[in-house]
């Protein structure tokens, strides 16, 4: 039995996880408009609820990307052409998509060293339970933020690298941040390494809106869970019944936006911060952007950040693209 080994890495600034959460909550709830960083969605409950979202028919993103990856999994080893490969996945989640890609390389008799990186320990545990053992597969999971994890992995990795950033996680960055993120990724990689990025495409607003307001209320639970997390970890007294999930498409930004709205004027106390926060009636807390892309946006990003486009893989409805890029560096 080959089990995933999980290395737990500490935050680079030396802050404990709880201190960092406290700082980010204080900063976010003092801001105007109020906001909370989306990375805090993924505590144990959040990671489990996210899994339910991905299985819901309204949330087309997971099933569509799964179809694409299933179709291309045997082409990728041919495109990349290595006998041993280090597959590094940023925000790997439960590993279902990773398994498809890994299977493609194993079927082509390639040795695979898989390095999933995820901020959520729960996601890493789910992943290690889901992965199918194979004699040509080693798994080293890192529970860390993207680039802290990448630094750890880069010290261990000696082979050609394929970095996966799936699920349109790239859409959580705005159109300036995403260039910074990809350029930083480029800086961490060697010439001829590859990245496979999942992009959700612009589409009918009804389809988008349904995906982020699923009919079973999983997204609602997922978003409100961040308030529960503040209650549990920082001694907050958010009354969840007095907040409402609100997911809406902003056509100017080209992004879905997720908020929770305070349904009445109220005060919330957070013991760890010894601070009371005032909410006006229907005041929002901004939680997340999910930017949507055109094929042109993807080509532009690729060009701007130092990569060469190898292939764009899409689905029949043209809902989603997995884009394979190669790192280009001057000798
Ligand atoms: C939207 S889910 C996508 C999961 C998977 N890649 C997929 O496509 O189904 C985002 C994943 O990224 C992780 N994540 C979010 N922010 C992160 C960060 N800053 N650093 C590392 N992992 C992060 C979450 O814990 C979660 O498992």
Task: Indicate which CATH number applies to the domain containing 140.
Answer: 3.40.50.150
Cα of 7 from ligand 1 centre, angstroms: 17
Query: Across residues 211-222, what is the average pLDDT?
Result: 95
Could you give the CA distance from residue 331 to residue 289 in angstroms, rounded to a whole number? 37
pLDDT band with cut points at 50, 70 and 90 for residue 94: very high
Contacts of 126 (CB under 8 A, 6+ apart): 47, 51, 93, 94, 95
In a domain, 8, yes or no: no
The Cα–Cα gap between 97 and 89 comes to: 10
Question: What contacts 41, CB < 8 A, 6 or more positions away?
Answer: 50, 222, 223, 225, 226, 287, 288
The CB density around residue 167, as the number of other CB atoms within 10 Å, is 20
* Residue 167 sits in the same domain as residue 107: yes
**Cβ of 119 below 6 Å from ligand 1:** yes
Q: What is the pLDDT of residue 1?
A: 36
What's the total number of domains in the chain?
Answer: 2
273 in a domain, yes or no? yes
Residue 256 forms part of a structural domain = yes
Whether cis (ω within 30° of 0) applies to the bond prior to 33 is: yes
**pTM score over 0.85:** yes
Shortest CA distance to 6 belongs to which of 132, 174, 151, 119?
A: 119
Residue 9 pLDDT greater than 60, yes or no: no
Q: Would you say 97 and 167 are in contact if contact means Cβ atoms under 8 Å apart?
A: yes
43 with 112, same domain: the answer is no
Q: Extract the tokens encoding 52.
A: 């339910």
Ligand 1 contact via 167 beta carbon (within 6 Å): yes
Is 60 exceeded by the pLDDT of residue 82? yes
HSE (side-chain half, CA atoms, 13 Å) at 237:
10
The verdict on 181 and 143 lying in the same domain is yes
Residue 120 CB–ligand 1 contact under 6 Å: yes
Q: Does the residue 95 lie in any domain? A: yes
Q: Are residues 257 and 194 in the same domain?
A: no
Q: What phi-psi label fits residue 282: left (phi over 0), alpha (psi between -120 and 50 degrees) or beta?
A: left
State the average pLDDT over residues 300-321. Answer: 97
Q: Could you tell me if 158 and 285 lie in one domain?
A: no
- Domain shared by 105 and 222, yes or no: no
* Strand 284-291 with 5-8, pairing: unpaired
- Residue 78 and residue 145: Cα distance in Å, rounded? 31
* Beta-strand pair 194-200/160-165: parallel
Q: Which domain holds residue 215?
A: 16-55+205-291
- Is residue 315 domain-shared with residue 285, that is, in the same domain? no
Same domain, 143 and 20: no
> In this structure, are 153 and 261 located in the same domain?
no
Residue 7 lies inside a defined structural domain of this protein: no
Tens-place pLDDT, residues 36-64: 999 999 999 999 999 999 999 999 999 99
Average pLDDT over residues 290-314: 97
pLDDT exceeds 50 at position 322: yes
Pocket-testing residue among 61, 119, 200, 289, ligand 1, by greatest number of atoms within 8 A of Cβ: 119
pLDDT in tens, 130-161: 999 999 999 999 999 999 999 989 888 789 99
Neighbour count for residue 217 (Cβ, 10 Å): 13
Indicate whether 142 and 224 sit together in one domain: no
Higher-confidence residue of 181 and 151: namely 181
Measured by CA distance, the residue closest to atom 6 of ligand 1 is: 92
């Amino acid at each position: 039995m080959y089990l995933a080994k999980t290395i737990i890495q500490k935050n680079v600034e030396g802050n404990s996880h709880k201190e960092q959460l406290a700082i980010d909550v204080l900063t976010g709830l003092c801001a105007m408009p109020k906001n909370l960083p989306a990375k805090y969605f993924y505590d144990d409950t959040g990671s489990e609820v996210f899994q339910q979202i991905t299985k819901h028919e309204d949330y087309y993103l997971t099933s569509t990307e799964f179809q694409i990856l299933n179709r291309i999994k045997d082409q990728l080893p041919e495109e990349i052409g290595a006998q041993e490969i280090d597959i590094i996945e940023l925000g790997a989640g439960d590993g279902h998509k990773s398994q498809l890609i890994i299977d493609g390389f194993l079927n082509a008799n390639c040795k695979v060293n898989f390095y999933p990186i995820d901020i959520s320990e729960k996601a890493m545990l789910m992943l290690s339970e889901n992965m199918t053992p194979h004699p040509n597969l080693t798994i080293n999971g890192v529970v860390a933020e993207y680039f802290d994890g990448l630094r750890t992995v880069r010290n261990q990795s000696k082979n050609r690298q394929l970095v996966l950033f799936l699920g349109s996680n790239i859409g959580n960055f705005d159109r300036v941040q995403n260039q910074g993120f990809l350029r930083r990724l480029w800086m961490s990689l060697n010439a001829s390494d590859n990245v496979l990025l999942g992009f959700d495409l612009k589409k009918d607003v009804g389809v988008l809106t349904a995906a982020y307001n699923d009919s079973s209320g999983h997204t609602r639970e997922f978003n409100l869970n961040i308030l529960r997390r503040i209650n549990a970890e920082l001694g907050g007294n958010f009354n969840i019944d007095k907040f409402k999930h609100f997911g809406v498409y902003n056509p100017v930004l080209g992004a879905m936006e997720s908020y929770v709205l305070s349904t009445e004027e109220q005060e919330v106390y957070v013991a760890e911060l010894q601070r009371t926060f005032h909410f006006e009636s229907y005041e929002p807390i901004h939680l997340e952007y999910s930017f949507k892309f055109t094929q042109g946006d993807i080509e532009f990003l690729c060009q701007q950040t130092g990569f060469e486009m190898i292939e764009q893989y899409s689905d029949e409805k043209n809902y989603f693209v997995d884009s394979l890029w190669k790192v280009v560096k001057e000798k």
